[in-house]
Structures are given as C-alpha cells and as structure tokens.
Amino acid sequence: MKPFIAVVKVEGDKITKYQDFDTQDEAQAYVDKVRATYPKAFVAASPLGGFRFWTVDAVTKTITHDKTAQDANEAFNVWEAKINKHDKIVPRPVEDIITSMDAAQRAKLPQVTQDAYAAKVALRASQP
C-alpha cells in the first residue's frame, strides 16, 4: 500500500472506490481530475491494516483502522481453519450422531474416535 490514497467514493462509513499514490501531490492531482464525477473525493494518508477494516469520516476527511475488528476476524479465520481440518477427521454428520449418543454408547466407540470427537467439541467451545 502506498502512503496516500485518493478516496473517490464512500457509502456509509466505508470506502467503495479509491486509488493509492506515492505522494500527496499525485493523489491530489487525481482527486482534482475526478472531482466532476466524484465531488466528495478527497486525499488522506493510507491507514494501516486491511481495507475491509477501514472506517471513513467524509466530513473530517479522515480514515481510521479498526484493529480490534481485524484481530477478531483473523482469530475467527484461524479457528475456522482448525474446525475445517477437524471436519475431515470427524465429519459434521458423524459429529451429530456421536453427540446424540448417550455416554454408554460413546464409550463403545474406538478410542481414536472418542479422542477426535472430544478434541472437536473442545475446539468448538473455543470459538472466538
């Protein structure tokens, strides 16, 4: 990401169209060029973090990065990848069947299945 962006279009508090530039002058020249089509275009310093987690204030012409939301999203993605890996070991339909069993029925399952099921249950409980 380059250090400056020309914010061209905003919907609500999210940027829907922008272009990044090496200098503020380049960004301003671009804004001047598109101002007839996008009268609310402005230049701002590029915020850190992922684009999906930027919030724009078109009145003050500032952009902030919601690090808390991005961190939560990343934690969920890691958790989801682990669940998907466990789904290959204990598919969801099998998990549902085991969940419906009583303790005596579960005890008759092979130990490897019991361990895999217990690991998946623990992982589900840790969802961020």
Q: What is the pLDDT of residues 67-107, one digit of tens each?
A: 999 999 999 999 999 999 999 999 999 999 999 999 999 99
Is pLDDT above 90 for 1? Answer: no
For residues 128 and 126, what is the distance between their CA atoms, to the nearest angstrom?
A: 6
- In the chain, where does DSSP find H-type helix? 24-34, 67-89, 92-100, 103-107, 111-125
- Measuring CA to CA, which residue among 90, 125, 88 is closest to residue 109? 90
What's the average model confidence in pLDDT over 21-42? 96
pTM above 0.75, yes or no: no
How confident is the model at residue 50, as a pLDDT?
A: 81
Q: Cα–Cα distance between 3 and 46 in angstroms, integer?
A: 5
